[in-house]
C-alpha cells in the first residue's frame, strides 16, 4: 500500500519532492530537452496550489560525466513551466539549504542543488542505512513529508530515493502513481501481447525477455537495435567485425550465450531481423541476412525493410505492444527508418506502452505520437517489466498502513 498526494494534507506542509529531471545538457550548459521537467509539472503545481512548501530534490548526470552539473538551469525552466517564481540554492543539506527550506511560505518552491554533488548519493544503501547518510540525516528534520515522483530513478537505492521515507511520511507523486498503475498491471492488458526490445541495453532486455516468456506474458518478442544484433549472432549469423567489435567493447559478449539459450527455449516466439541496413558509400544499403557478412568495416545500423514488413504484420493483430529502445541509430537520418516505422506501426495497436526516456524524446523528434502510455523511465521501466520491485517504490510501502486498511475492510 502506497500513499499518494490524495492522502497528504498539503497546506502549510514542508514537502521534499524527489523528481527525475536528469536531462541532456547542451555544450553551453543549458538544458537540451525539458521533457522530464514537464512530466513533473502536475505534481509540483498541485502541491503548490494546495499550499505546500516545496523543496525539490534531484540529480543531474553522474560524477565525471559531461552532463554532471548544477540544477540552476532546471530551476529557471521549472519557473517558466510552472508560471511562478522558483528559487534555487546552491546547497543540498547544509545550513544554507535548511535555511532556504525553513524560509518557504505556503505555495513557495525552491530547487536544492544536485544530490549527486555529495558522494553518498552515488552509492546504494538499504533504506535504514540510507536514512543515516548526511543528506537524509541533515535535511529530514526540516521536512514534514517526502514525495517521490522520480519513477525514472526508482531502480536506484540511493539516499534521496530510499532514505527519506523511513524517517518522514512518504507519498508517491502523480508521475510515480501513473507509472506504477500502467507498468504494474501489464498482465491485464489485451492479448496477443508483443514486446519490442531494441536499443543497446542488452543485458536488461534479455532479462525482460526471459521473465515475460517464462511467465507466458509475451506472445511474440520482436528484436531490434543492438539487442537484435546479439540475437542474430547467437543464431549463427555473421554480422561482420564492426558489429561484433561493438558488442564486445560494450562488454556484452556473454549475452550471446544467454540469447542462444533463450532461442533454444522460446525460439518460436522470438522474431529476428530478416535484413539489416549498413552504411555503404555514405548511404543506407540494405542486406538480407543470407547476404551477410557485410563488407569490411560495415556495421548493422538499423533493421531493414523486409524486417519492418514482417514486424508490421505481427503488430496488426496485437492487442498490446510494449516497446523499449530504438530499432537503429535513429540519430542518423539514414538509419531512422526502422524506429520511425516500427514505433509508427505500434501506435495502431489498441494498447501501446513505450519505455525509456531517451526513446521518448527521439519519438517526439521523429513526430511519432499517439501511444497509450509513454514512460518517463528507461532502466526503471525495464526493471518493472521483469516484475522486480523497484527499491524506491518498496521504500514507500507502508506495511503498517496496509494491515490497518485491511482490518478496516478497505
Ligand atoms: C536516468 O536518466 O536513467 C535516471 O535519471 C537515472 O540516472 P542514472 O542512470 O544515472 O542512475
Ligand atoms: Mg540511466
pLDDT tens per residue, range 364-396: 889 999 999 999 998 899 888 887 789 999 999
Whether 151 and 177 have beta carbons less than 8 Å apart is answered as: no
- Neighbouring residues of the ion ligand 2, judged by CB less than 5 Å: 379
For the packed helices 305-316 and 337-346, what is the interaxial angle rounded to 10 degrees? 10
For the packed helices 241-249 and 225-234, what is the interaxial angle rounded to 10 degrees? 110
Does 138 score more than 70 pLDDT? yes
Mean pLDDT on 220-247: 97
Mean pLDDT on 103-125: 97
For residue 287, how far is its CA from the centre of ligand 1 (angstroms)? Answer: 35
The DSSP symbol for 397 reads -
Residue of the nearest CA to atom 8 in ligand 1? 153
The pLDDT confidence band at residue 399, using thresholds 50, 70 and 90, is low
156 lines ligand 1 (CB under 6 A): yes
Return the ligand number nearest the Cα of 68: 1
Does 407 score more than 70 pLDDT? no
The pLDDT confidence band at residue 127, using thresholds 50, 70 and 90, is very high
Mean pLDDT of the chain: 94
pLDDT of res. 406 = 35
pLDDT digits (tens, 9 = 90+) for 279-289: 999 999 999 99
Does 167 score more than 90 pLDDT? yes
- Cα 227 from Cα 240, distance rounded (Å): 16
Mean pLDDT on 322-332: 94
Q: State the sign of the Cα–Cα–Cα–Cα dihedral 126, 131, 135, 140.
A: positive
Q: Where are the alpha helices (DSSP H) in 330-398?
A: 337-346, 357-366, 379-385, 391-394
Mean pLDDT on 296-308: 98
Ligand 1 pocket: which of 66, 152, 384 to mutate (most atoms within 8 A of CB): 152
377 lines ligand 1 (CB under 6 A): no
pLDDT of res. 388 = 75
Return the ligand number nearest the Cα of 116: 1
What string of DSSP letters covers 78-127?
HHHHHTS--EE-S-SSSHHHHHHHHTPPTT-EEEPP-GGGSGGGGS---H
- Only one residue has cell 567489435, namely 245
Mean pLDDT on 148-165: 97
pLDDT digits (tens, 9 = 90+) for 2-47: 999 999 999 999 999 999 999 999 999 999 989 899 999 999 999 9
Does 190 score more than 70 pLDDT? yes
pLDDT of res. 20 = 97
Indicate the pairing of strand 109-111 with strand 53-57: parallel
Taking alpha carbons only, the member of 326, 362, 360 closest to residue 225 is 326
For residue 124, how far is its CA from the centre of ligand 1 (angstroms)? Answer: 13
152 lines ligand 1 (CB under 6 A): yes
CA distance to 55, 138, 161, per residue, from 127 (Å): 21, 16, 9
Ligand 1 pocket: which of 18, 37, 59, 359 to mutate (most atoms within 8 A of CB): 59
pLDDT of res. 401 = 46
pLDDT of res. 378 = 87
Mean pLDDT on 321-329: 95
Which of 5-9, 99-103, 119-123, 377-381 is predicted least confidently? Answer: 377-381
Mean pLDDT on 194-202: 95
Does this model's pTM top 0.85? My answer is: yes
How much of the chain exceeds pLDDT 90, in percent? Answer: 90
Does 408 score more than 50 pLDDT? no
Amino acid at each position: 500500500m502506497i500513499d499518494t498526494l490524495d492522502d497528504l494534507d498539503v497546506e502549510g506542509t514542508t514537502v521534499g519532492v524527489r523528481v527525475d529531471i536528469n536531462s541532456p545538457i547542451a555544450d553551453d550548459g543549458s538544458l537540451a530537452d525539458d521533457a522530464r521537467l514537464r512530466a513533473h509539472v502536475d505534481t509540483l503545481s498541485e502541491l503548490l496550489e494546495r499550499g505546500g512548501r516545496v523543496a525539490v530534490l534531484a540529480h543531474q548526470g553522474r560524477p565525471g560525466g559531461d552532463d554532471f552539473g548544477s540544477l540552476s538551469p532546471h530551476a529557471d525552466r521549472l519557473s517558466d513551466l510552472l508560471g511562478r517564481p522558483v528559487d534555487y540554492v546552491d546547497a543540498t543539506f547544509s545550513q544554507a539549504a535548511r535555511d532556504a527550506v525553513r524560509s518557504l511560505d505556503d505555495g513557495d518552491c525552491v530547487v536544492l542543488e544536485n544530490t549527486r554533488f555529495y558522494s553518498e548519493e552515488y552509492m546504494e544503501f538499504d533504506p535504514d542505512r540510507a536514512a543515516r547518510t548526511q543528506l537524509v540525516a541533515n535535511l529530514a528534520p526540516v521536512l514534514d513529508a517526502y514525495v517521490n515522483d522520480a519513477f525514472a530513478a526508482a531502480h536506484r537505492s540511493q539516499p534521496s530515493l530510499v532514505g527519506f521515507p523511513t524517517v518522514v511520511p512518504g507519498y508517491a507523486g502523480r508521475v510515480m502513481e501513473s507509472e506504477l498503475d500502467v507498468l504494474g498491471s501489464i498482465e491485464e492488458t489485451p492479448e496477443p501481447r508483443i514486446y519490442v526490445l531494441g536499443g543497446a541495453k542488452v543485458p536488461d532486455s534479455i532479462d525482460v525477455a526471459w521473465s515475460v516468456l517464462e511467465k507466458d506474458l509475451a506472445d511474440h518478442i520482436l528484436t531490434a537495435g543492438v539487442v537484435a544484433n546479439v540475437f542474430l549472432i547467437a543464431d549463427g549469423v555473421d554480422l561482420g567485425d564492426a558489429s561484433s567489435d561493438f558488442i564486445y567493447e560494450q562488454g556484452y559478449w556473454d549475452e550471446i550465450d544467454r540469447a542462444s539459450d533463450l532461442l533454444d527455449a522460446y525460439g518460436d516466439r522470438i522474431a529476428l531481423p530478416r535484413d539489416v541496413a549498413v552504411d555503404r558509400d555514405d548511404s543506407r544499403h540494405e542486406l538480407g541476412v543470407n547476404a551477410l557478412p557485410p563488407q569490411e568495416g560495415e556495421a548493422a545500423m538499423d533493421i531493414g525493410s523486409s524486417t519492418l514488413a514482417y514486424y508490421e504484420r505481427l503488430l496488426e493483430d496485437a492487442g498490446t505492444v510494449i516497446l523499449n529502445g530504438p530499432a537503429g541509430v535513429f540519430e542518423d537520418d539514414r538509419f531512422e527508418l526502422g524506429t520511425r516505422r516500427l514505433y509508427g506501426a505500434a501506435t495502431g495497436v489498441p494498447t501501446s506502452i513505450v519505455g525509456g526516456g531517451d526513446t521518448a524524446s527521439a519519438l517526439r523528434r521523429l513526430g511519432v505520437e499517439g501511444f497509450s502510455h509513454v514512460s518517463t523511465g528507461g532502466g526503471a521501466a525495464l526493471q518493472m517489466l521483469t516484475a522486480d520491485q523497484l527499491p524506491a517504490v518498496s521504500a514507500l510501502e507502508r506495511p503498517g498502513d496496509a494491515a490497518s486498511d485491511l482490518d478496516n475492510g478497505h
